[in-house]
Amino acid sequence: MNKKLKITVASGSLILIAWFSNFVNYDPAIFNYSMILATIIAGYEVARKAYYTLKMKVVSINLLVTIAAIGAVIIGEYWEAAAVTFLFTFGDYLQIRTMNKTRNAIKGLMDLAPKTANIIREGKEIEIAAEDVKKGETVVVRPGEKIPVDGKISEGKSEVNQASITGEAIPVSKQKDDEVYSGTINETGYLEIEAEKVGEDTTFAKIIELVEEAQEKKAPTQALLERFSKYYTPGIILLAVITYLITRDTRLALTLLVIGCPGALVISTPVSVVAGIGNAAKNGVLIKGGEHLEKAGKIDLVAFDKTGTLTEGKPVVTDLIAWEVKEAELLKLAASVEKSSEHHLANAIIDKADDDYYEIENFNSVTGAGVIATLNEEQILVGNDKLMRDYNINISEKMRSEKTKFEQKGKTVVYLVQGEKVLGLIAISDKAREDAREVVNNLKNIGVKKVVMLTGDNSEIAKSIADDLNIDEFQAELLPAEKVKVIEQYQKQGYTVAMVGDGINDSPSLATADIGIAMGAAGTDVAIDTADITLMADKISKIPFAIGLSMATTNNIKQNIVFAVTVVFALLAGVLGKFVFLASGMLVHEVSVLLVIFNAMRLLRYKQKSGGKNYA
């Protein structure tokens, strides 16, 4: 039994003894002494906190209760003194218990943290503490065990439950060379894992750390209310003093002190923020603090990057047109240049080609245009219209016509030029995600006014994707810096903008938007650190959930504030009307605090339902 509960039980027992003695007509002194003792037991900790906060020049709720209790004892209202301190202490105990429930999502995450690990050292398998595993060591994980490190599978295959990281309960098939994360559960097979991130560096440890930090960061509304209460509480004391000087009614003045406590108002925002962030974390969405949670609840424009966000991010070569060489030679030339590139389209060309490459020199990447290199002292260009214009390459009408046909089908087209001669073109397709259209519609259903797409691809491809996905507006052929300018234009038009990207290539846009949302960040430190909201799974279906939860949290905060203010004014009216007294006022005050907490706890059960689909 914790200390606060013991104090509550002891004080409550003495109050019961006092009333029992009064009921059976024992000596009135028993009633009085029992009530005074109950007041001292329940009020000691309250008075001690009031003293220390007053030393820091803060007038707290504890001080109001202490003054009211002492005043009630002085005027002989022992029952009122005992009731006020008991109800305040009991309410505080219940408040702590219910607040802890709002943190259950975080406690659940921490409980999932693996405590031990089986590793192979000097040819033997030994069990050690998970935090003692060293980078590069081989970790053995059997069916049903938690994976204690981030790493790569070196032996075995299995189904791994990654719910603690991504929020997705359906196990994912894993085999040799696949990445796995600490805190996930190996469900079926035997695995040997080469440790790459250990201890506090694992993705799971970072998630817990970020969520704990997020719950401590104050939302703007919370900071405003705390500043308000800093002046409000002394104002209540002044009001009580003025009331006493005018009416000479000590009981009325003390009652004003008690019912003026802004407890429900002060707690209205933080309890909602804690519940919202906890629910989000449980579902694989990291929201980095109350400020971002509250701002995300005001989003009315969502801007998507195209490649890897609205599309699958796995482009494949679908068509080749060779004019001066054979198709195999066209591919070999393109792959030889692209193998030094990190662009996603380069992978499609390399995957299509054989592993036979020319030795190229002087490789250079031109942002938003393509790549260039030299082969046998002859320049090779692989890129789009911008690259062709920059290097004054003549593109015939026939070539442009072929290119346009592919683009109208939503395909990206690059030219290959050797010297000044266009050898052919390569068409690459990146399919839209199956649920992309549904996500766009769900965003509109929850109140987002506009969904836009920002892409470096040309207008024909952008239009094809936008039409297919019911996107309101698109901007094409944008360089990263130009995406930033577009977002700033939307902000000047009055929109609260969320930008969705991968957290690396789109980091300038994510930083400029009111809210940056990074996708598929599991294992990616840069993505986790860059964005305001991080989706651990590579699933855009989490975006309506994240924004919807933020909107629900913002509404919840407003409900709590309106309720708390209404209760305070109702109690004031009750005191002045002489039908709310010291004990009943404290009871209503404590009940109002608990109701605010219970209202916030509803956010723990939030699930976005739209179009018959749950986003949770």
Whether residue 43 contacts residue 35, with contact meaning beta carbons closer than 8 Å, is answered with no
In terms of Cα–Cα distance, which of 151, 90, 135, 141 is closest to 116?
A: 141
The secondary structure of 337-403 as a DSSP string is HHTT--SHHHHHHHHHS-S-----EEEEEETTTEEEEEETTEEEEEE-HHHHHHTT----HHHHHHH
What 3-state class would DSSP assign to 470? coil
| Active-site residue, 150 included | no
For residue 189, the SS3 value is coil
3-state helix, strand, coil in the chain (%, to 5): 55, 20, 25
Cβ atoms 78, 36 nearer than 8 A: yes
CA distance 171 to 188: 10
| 601: nearest Cα among 98, 91, 92 | 98
Catalytic residue among 305, 385, 514, 532: 305
Residue 457 DSSP code: S
CB atoms within 10 A of CB 253: 23
Specify whether the CB–CB gap between 453 and 474 falls below 8 A.
yes
Half-sphere exposure of 580 (CA within 13 A, CB side): 24
DSSP string for 387-399: HHHHTT----HHH
Residues serving a catalytic function are 305
